[in-house]
Amino acid sequence: MSSEVFTQLVDAHYAALYRFALSLAKSPSDAGDLVQQTFFIWATKGHGLREASKAKSWLFTTLYREFLHGRRRDVRVTSIEDLPPGESDVAAEDVDRAARMDAALVVAALQTVDEVFRAPLTLFYLEDLSYTEIAETLEVPIGTVMSRLSRGKAQLRAALQQEEKTAKSKVVPFDGAQGRKQA
């Protein structure tokens, strides 16, 4: 593969891969390492890809595999089966509330969602991948993708409610009379 083609591939997919890696790793340095490792693997094995149109999916899948590989070394990965029995989905919230949300608030709340749910949420909402593409990337059945998206949305809603309460509690009313210096 020529360096020009590789550079074009990096330019086309770096930002999206970094966002995905950051949502998984929660650390800018770890996210950068994941993306770098992904492109290294592409440089060594990517020439074997038969269809150039599948490069994006291949890169996301590789990044996710590398993330899981790193996680397995550090901690046991939480699976959907490990959730407490009877955990139910939270009812949908007002659309108006979502419109008022700040992007930073949503990103902060997303970081609190369990890893197993955060990956499909990020791929679906931030990277605009279809259920099928997410299933291929995460190497799980489509039903699992739909289940994880549903549970992830429930966790995200709960986290957003908590973030919203925290943000409201930080607002301190200013009383002009008390704030003036006595002469």
First to last CA, the chain: 77
CA torsion angle 164 168 171 172 (round to 10): -160
Whether 84 shows a pLDDT value over 80: the answer reads no
> CA angle, 59 as apex, 54 and 65 as ends, to 5°?
125
Stated pTM of the model: 0.50
Domains in the chain and their CATH numbers? 3-74 (1.10.1740.10), 90-169 (1.10.10.10)
Summarize pLDDT for 38-77 with one digit per residue, the tens: 889 888 887 777 777 788 888 998 999 888 888 776 654 4
